[in-house]
Amino acid sequence: MTDPELAVVEFVLTVDLYNESDDFDRDDLPPAYRTPFWSDGRIERPLQPTENAAREATGVERPWEAISGLMFTDHDDFSGTLSFTDREMAEKWYHDQTDPERLGGNPVLAATLGEEFEVDYELARERNRPARADRAFIDALLEEYFDEDEKEEMLDLVDVRAPEEIEMTLDDIVLTEQQEGEIQKIVKAIEHREYLAEIGLREIGKLLFVGPPGTGKTSVARALAQKLGLPFVEVKLSMITSQYLGETAKNVEKTFEVAKRLAPCILFIDEFDFVAKTRASDEHAAIKRAVNTLLKSIDEVSLIQDEVLLIGATNHPDQLDAAAWRRFDEIVNFPKPDAGMRAEILEVVTRQMEIADFSPTEVADITEGLTGSDLRLVLREAVLEALTEERTTLTQQDLVDAVEEFEERDTLKNLDMMDGDGDALIAGDGLDGHDHSHD
């Protein structure tokens, strides 16, 4: 028995069972299995388990070759369709090879075989990312909602990502204790939003991420979308001043409408300090109207009613006025990492690297004031420098040299002097604690 065998048999068996029962819908198919069957934003029955579909769904390069040695499999040379000559034998074979964890990610098979493995169908379905979060569905919705000109205009304002397009995970990020706590609270709020609605607790689900550049605000927001299996709608507020955007207030409204139509989703609004700067300046009246529309839209969107989790982010909290602050029910601090966090960040980022005599603590001690983003740049420089010497194994000295070179750059010196970033709060300075763990 090989993994390719199991993968292809599971795919064909899932498709067969799905086709036989109208009780199943597209959310019962694992996300990878839905991918080859999307057409114009729909998945139409009956599904055809062709070699091409199996290849795309399982990643097995030669699906028929993988299962041709099994007694119960067949292949149509003309259509490329894979099938079973004896379904009962196929189910028994799969039953003997699978395990509860595998079944728990496939609602169709959990409904059929779950009882014997003590796998609950409803739980498997909850764990399965909904089809509304698939790239194909997102694209179809945007095509339906906007005409071609509007769509081009919106792409200048909004970046929509499907969960599978987000590479960063929460396991790749070192979080403070406060950050972990807020993420856990929001995960529970999403899981229990019906209960929250029943008890009348609707003012929840609007977070403001505060901290200097490079401390992980955007990365955490994206990773949260990946973890929860939600579409990620990102807006940079400075873009509403673009000369190409036309009716800015109308486009702000459309941004929130997109989020509501893609719901459940995360709406991430970057550069939130732009709101306060605009309100306090002599900006064009159209831009001020757009900002007022933005604030009104924030007031009206709800995690409980609209299933939109709103996250704002700012590098300059000192520029926010009371009208901006009161829009959010939780403030999450993103400080520059202290020595302990820097050491853990280095351990996380170097997981796939070979480094002789590596001491994260020693590197952390000489990188005071650097952010997580800065540390990644340091490691990139060390790797590239080693490659110029035809080496793929780094040394501790490579990292020390890269730190020294990074600190000599005028860019870092300028960043340290801009807007007080050089004196930004360091994790552990008292505003929030951390336990150097990450999810």
Smallest Cα–Cα separation from 289: which of 320, 245, 327, 328? 245
The tens digit of pLDDT for each residue in 118-129 reads 999 999 998 899
Instruction: Reduce the DSSP state of residue 414 to 3 states and report it.
Output: helix
Alpha helix ranges (H) inside 59-205? 63-67, 87-97, 100-103, 107-117, 121-127, 135-145, 148-155, 177-191, 193-198
pLDDT bin (cut points 50, 70, 90) of residue 342 is very high
Query: What average pLDDT does this structure show over 143-164?
Result: 79
Distances in whole angstroms, Cα of residue 71 to Cα of each of 84, 266, 394: 9, 47, 50
Greatest distance between any 2 Cα atoms in the chain: 77
Query: What average pLDDT does this structure show over 4-32?
Result: 96
- DSSP category for residue 238: G
Residue with tokens 């109207």: 289
pLDDT at position 281 is 58
pLDDT at position 184 is 92
Distance of CA 414 to the CA centre of its chain: 31
Topology (CATH level 3) of domain 133-333: Rossmann fold (3.40.50)
Contacts of 415 (CB under 8 A, 6+ apart): 213, 421, 422
Integer Cα distance of 339 and 352 in angstroms = 22
pLDDT at position 427 is 57
- DSSP category for residue 3: H
Domains 133-333 and 339-423 share a fold: no
Amino acid, res. 176? T
pLDDT bin (cut points 50, 70, 90) of residue 433 is very low
The tens digit of pLDDT for each residue in 45-89 reads 999 999 999 999 999 999 999 999 999 999 999 999 999 999 999
Q: Are 209 and 283 in contact (CB under 8 A)?
A: no
Q: Is 179 left (phi over 0), alpha (psi -120 to 50) or beta?
A: alpha
Give CATH for domain 339-423. Answer: 1.10.8.60
Q: Where are the domains of the chain?
A: 3-128, 133-333, 339-423
Higher pLDDT, 436 or 98: 98
The tens digit of pLDDT for each residue in 179-203 reads 999 999 988 988 888 898 888 877 7
Smallest Cα–Cα separation from 364: which of 334, 381, 339? 339
pLDDT at position 23 is 95
Q: Are 240 and 281 in contact (CB under 8 A)?
A: no
Higher pLDDT, 398 or 148: 398
